[in-house]
Amino acid sequence: MKHYWLIGGSYKTTCLSLAIANLMILKPNLAIDFFRKTDDDVKEIVVQVSKILKSDVIGHLVRKIYGKDLVLTVDNAQELDTNLKTTTRGVSQLLGLGIKTSITGKHGDLVITDDIVNLKDRISKAERELIKTSYMELQNVKNRGGRFFNAGTPWHKDDAITSMPNKHVYDCYSTGLISRAKIEELRQSMTPSLFAANYELKHIADGDAMFTNPEFILDSTPDLLYEGIAHVDAAFGGEDGTAFTALKQIGNMFVIFGKRWDKHIDDCITEILYFMDYYRLGSIAVERNADKGYVAQNLIDCGLTVDDYNEHMNKYIKISTYLRKYWKNIRFLEETDPEYINEILDYNENATHDDSPDSASSLIRKVTGDNWLY
pLDDT of residue 204: 57
Flag whether 209 is in a domain.
Answer: no
User: Looking at per-residue confidence, does 248 or 161 come out higher?
Assistant: 248
Query: How far apart, in whole angstroms, are the C-alpha atoms of residue 341 and residue 245?
Result: 11
pLDDT tens string 114-129: 989 987 888 788 889 9
Flag whether 204 is in a domain.
Answer: no
Flag whether 203 is in a domain.
Answer: no
The answer to whether residues 6 and 153 belong to one domain is yes
Last residue of a domain, one of 137, 170, 203: 170
**Radius of gyration for the chain, computed over Cα atoms and rounded to the nearest angstrom:** 24
Confidence of residue 15 (pLDDT cuts 50, 70, 90): confident
The answer to whether residues 309 and 220 belong to one domain is yes
Residue-range definition of the domain harbouring residue 107: 2-170
Flag whether 230 is in a domain.
Answer: yes
The answer to whether residues 140 and 86 belong to one domain is yes
pLDDT tens string 284-307: 999 987 777 889 999 999 999 999
Instruction: Please write down the HEC assignment for all residues of 207-253.
Output: CCCCCCCCCEECCCCHHHHCCCEEEEECCCCCCCCEEEEEEEEECCE
Nearby residues of 181 by Cβ (< 8 Å), 6 or more positions away? none
The answer to whether residues 240 and 134 belong to one domain is no
User: Looking at per-residue confidence, does 200 or 72 come out higher?
Assistant: 72
Mean pLDDT (the chain) is 86
The answer to whether residues 299 and 358 belong to one domain is yes
Confidence of residue 345 (pLDDT cuts 50, 70, 90): confident
- Output the CA torsion 192→351→234→307 (10° steps): 120
Last residue of a domain, one of 138, 170, 202: 170
Confidence of residue 8 (pLDDT cuts 50, 70, 90): low
The answer to whether residues 223 and 165 belong to one domain is no
pLDDT tens string 130-145: 999 998 888 888 888 8
pLDDT higher than 70, residue 91: yes
pLDDT tens string 211-231: 877 888 888 899 999 999 999
Last residue of a domain, one of 109, 140, 170: 170
Flag whether 195 is in a domain.
Answer: no
The answer to whether residues 100 and 159 belong to one domain is yes
The answer to whether residues 15 and 164 belong to one domain is yes
Provide the CATH number for the domain around residue 325: 3.30.420.240
Flag whether 238 is in a domain.
Answer: yes
DSSP 280: T
Structural domain count of the chain: 2
Flag whether 176 is in a domain.
Answer: no
The answer to whether residues 278 and 340 belong to one domain is yes
Give me the numbers of helices (H) and strands (E) for the chain, helices first please.
13, 15
User: Looking at per-residue confidence, does 294 or 193 come out higher?
Assistant: 294
Of 235, 183, 202, 205, the C-alpha closest to 354 is 235
- φ/ψ of residue 156, rounded to 5: -150, 150
**Side-chain half-sphere of 166: how many Cα atoms within 13 Å?**
7
Name the residue type at position 365: R
Q: Are 205 and 320 in contact (CB under 8 A)?
A: no
The answer to whether residues 233 and 140 belong to one domain is no
pLDDT tens string 96-111: 999 888 887 788 899 9
pLDDT of residue 27: 94
pLDDT tens string 150-179: 888 888 878 888 778 777 878 777 777 788
Tell me the average pLDDT across 4-28: 78
The answer to whether residues 163 and 236 belong to one domain is no
Provide the CATH number for the domain around residue 10: 3.40.50.300
pLDDT of residue 229: 96
The answer to whether residues 34 and 146 belong to one domain is yes
Flag whether 158 is in a domain.
Answer: yes
